[in-house]
Chains A and B, each alone.
Chain A
Amino acid sequence: MTILEEKATAPAPAQSRPEPVHHAEPSGLVKWLTSTDHKVIGKSYMFTSLALMIIGGAMALLIRAQLASPHSSLLSFQQYNELFTMHGSIMIYLFVGPFAFGGLANYVVPLQIGAPDMAFPRLNALSYWLYLGGSIIMLLGFFTASGAADFGWVAYAPLSSAVNSPGAGPDAWIAALILTGFSAIFTGVNLVTTIFYLRAPGMTMFRMPIFVWNMLVTAILILIAFPVLTSALVMLYADRHFGMDIFSVKGGGVPVLWQNLFWFWGHPEVYILALPFFGVITEIIPVFSKKPIFGYKGMVFATLAIAALSTGVWGHHMFTTGVVLLPFFSLLSLLIAVPTGIKFFNWIATMWRGQITFTTPMLCAIGFLITFLIGGLTGMFLASPPVDFQMHDTYFVVAHFHSVIFALVIAAIGALYFWWPKMFGWYLNDRIGKVQFWLLFVGVNATVIPWYILGLHGMPRRVAVYNTGMGWHALNIAATVGADITGVSFLVFLLNVYLSWDKKVPAPNNPWDGTTLEWFTSSPPPTHNFTRIPPIRSERPVWDYNHPDAVAIPAHKSDNNDKHASPPTGASGDDGGD
């Protein structure tokens, strides 16, 4: 254990400081198993969650193969139920969230605020091990005699009771989510503490990068929402094994209580998944538009407003239960469109008259905007109870949240291409990246848009077969083709990782002429991140340091006919850390 003698920084103008003497460090596997470095843990999180995404994606392709013909016998009904349950569970609980707040945030937040590590490095490592253990237990459900959990990723009572879903598979599902729930809570505590206590001097709250702000708000949402889920799961387990009858009518329980508890977690969870990726594209767009972010404070307040509103809208998932207050939940749900609209406006205004370079991360950011807009607007339809009564549990709802989540996946790919040079010191190939982006973008929308129409034509979700005369067949084939294209795009990603690794193109410290602190240190960063740090006088300290004589352009008055046009991407900016 090393006590840092100073804040991993030296006075600016910087001089390098000798690395603190480390005692015999383990290497190889032992080093990885015992590491408490946020960069190692962040990468472990990212690769574990990507591996789980590939497993969950394979399940999705099986589901789509089943639905490509009306009376397919590819899967039995039981297998189909297990697959859509585990597909949803893996994607929501084990991929998107952990990738964002366990992977990206873990890696990027300490770097962006000039911190040597997360505030509680050992707790951080524990978060990862809990997450990995939980993921393994969830997958072990497939090897039980009863099969994996098959009650949908929402586990509604009374379907999830011991009578209706007996066996070890559902118990494994519950145990897995209790472990990953604790993991998320610990990460939330760690992120809040890191952001509150480990910022570099001069990095005031309103100079933090928007990504850090979004992760702070995400972490607060985690602390509001995840304890409710974890305690609800404990109640469900007690119901199943100890006859507590909290969710069963026969013992005087209330089944709909499960839905209240679940969605009190479930709706903030949507923003726990989304806000990190809002942050990601807020980092990407200014860098590739060569402009400061438009409306910094507006972005911060919009994030806070979205988070605050999201805790009061859980009932919109329960409109059709008939026991929730329709106008209250409808009103608050519709209100979320306002701060989200502000964000969209700001993103577009940031690009407006900027010098846009269409690299893979930037394409992904734009792909995110389009896909998320489709998902967001259809969400507004569903926030209206009369529409929801028609659409509930049809493919329209499935399409809506897949638009949203796929938008986040596109942003996640953008984040990987954006921060990959920082994480590994070499680039991912941009040309293959563009191929991947287009396959992903086209595949996603070719999957989702037929679903909207299917939903309007009344196709219910969670069915394994359907009648031929309903006019659903062609649209289902289209969706299956779209899903296959999406699958191919991930093969292209794996291929790109392999090819780029095989012929490494070394990346400088600041490959994109980025503006935030992580681009100041080396690629990849040393242990404890910084050997020196620039003075922080704005929310763009590295830009100020690299371009001391650049005319300050107010975000709302960008005049890009000027001479100090920035150099082409990749060519400059490695003066950040030498």
Chain B
Amino acid sequence: MKVEGVVLISIGIFMAVVSVGYWFWSGEPSGTAMLIGSVLLGLLPGGYYYWWAKRMRPRPEDRPDATVKEGAGVIGSFPHGSMWPLVFGAGAFLTGLALAFGWWFLPPGAGLIVVATLGVTMQSRRGGTI
């Protein structure tokens, strides 16, 4: 976990140096704002990982001497298939058409997105087979 944190934090620190230099040299606000966004993108998750890395035992994937056995156990749920991404994608497609071709595409698009969001949430809650 530590290396992950350090990688992100170093990106944040580098971007901080660049943003300070850019702001004082150019005084241009939009670029500075975006650079500060990049600083936060490095520091926030990086800091979180580093904070945790200090407080937990290294995971098997953090230790060079870990054996394959140590990875045993439940590591997550990986569905074989789900129809909700397709439904959500169809809704997003209709919403995209609404942006370009006319607002009447929006109600069915938004409807499908809502249905898919509910569906995917219920699926996660229920677990088991789909």
Q: Which residues of A contact B (CB under 8 A)?
A: 1-7, 9-12, 22-23, 25-26, 31, 33-37, 116-117, 119, 121-123, 125-126, 128-130, 132-134, 136-137, 140-141, 144, 168, 171-172, 174-176, 178-179, 182, 196, 198-207, 216, 220, 223-224, 227-228, 237, 257, 260-261, 264, 304, 307-308, 311-312, 314-315, 323-325, 328, 332, 527-528, 533-537
B71 contacts across to A, CB distance below 8 A:
6-7, 9, 200-201
| With A171-B99, A179-B92, A237-B99: A533-B80 Cβ-Cβ less than 8 Å | no
| With A136-B93, A224-B38: A206-B79 Cβ-Cβ less than 8 Å | no
Q: Please state if B31 and A172 are interface contacts (CB–CB under 8 Å).
A: no
Assuming A22-B80, A260-B28, A528-B78, what are 10 further A-B pairs, CB within 8 angstroms?
A: A1-B129, A6-B75, A128-B85, A200-B68, A201-B68, A201-B71, A202-B68, A220-B41, A261-B30, A535-B68
Q: Please state if B11 and A304 are interface contacts (CB–CB under 8 Å).
A: yes
Q: Please state if A204 and B80 are interface contacts (CB–CB under 8 Å).
A: no
A502–B60 CA distance with the chains assembled, in angstroms: 45
Q: Please state if B127 and A174 are interface contacts (CB–CB under 8 Å).
A: no
Q: Which residues of B contact A (CB under 8 A)?
A: 3-4, 7-8, 10-11, 14-15, 18, 21-22, 25-26, 28, 30-31, 34-35, 37-38, 41, 49, 60-86, 88-90, 92-93, 96-97, 99-101, 120, 123, 127-130
B80 contacts across to A, CB distance below 8 A:
1-2, 22, 25, 35-37, 527
Q: Please state if A12 and B68 are interface contacts (CB–CB under 8 Å).
A: yes
Q: Please state if A34 and B81 are interface contacts (CB–CB under 8 Å).
A: yes
A175 contacts across to B, CB distance below 8 A:
96-97, 99-100
- CB < 8 Å: which of B15, B25, B81, B96 contacts A325? B25
Report the minimal beta-carbon distance from A552 to chain B, rounded to whole angstroms: 16
| With A1-B129, A176-B96, A264-B34: A204-B63 Cβ-Cβ less than 8 Å | yes
- CB < 8 Å: which of B18, B69, B74, B76 contacts A312? B18
A220 contacts across to B, CB distance below 8 A:
8, 11, 41
A536–B61 CA distance with the chains assembled, in angstroms: 10
Main SS at interface, chain A: helix
| With A178-B96, A207-B64: A122-B30 Cβ-Cβ less than 8 Å | no
A25 contacts across to B, CB distance below 8 A:
80-81
A224 contacts across to B, CB distance below 8 A:
37-38, 41
**Interface core residue of A204, A304, A325, A536 (most chain B CB under 10 Å):** A204
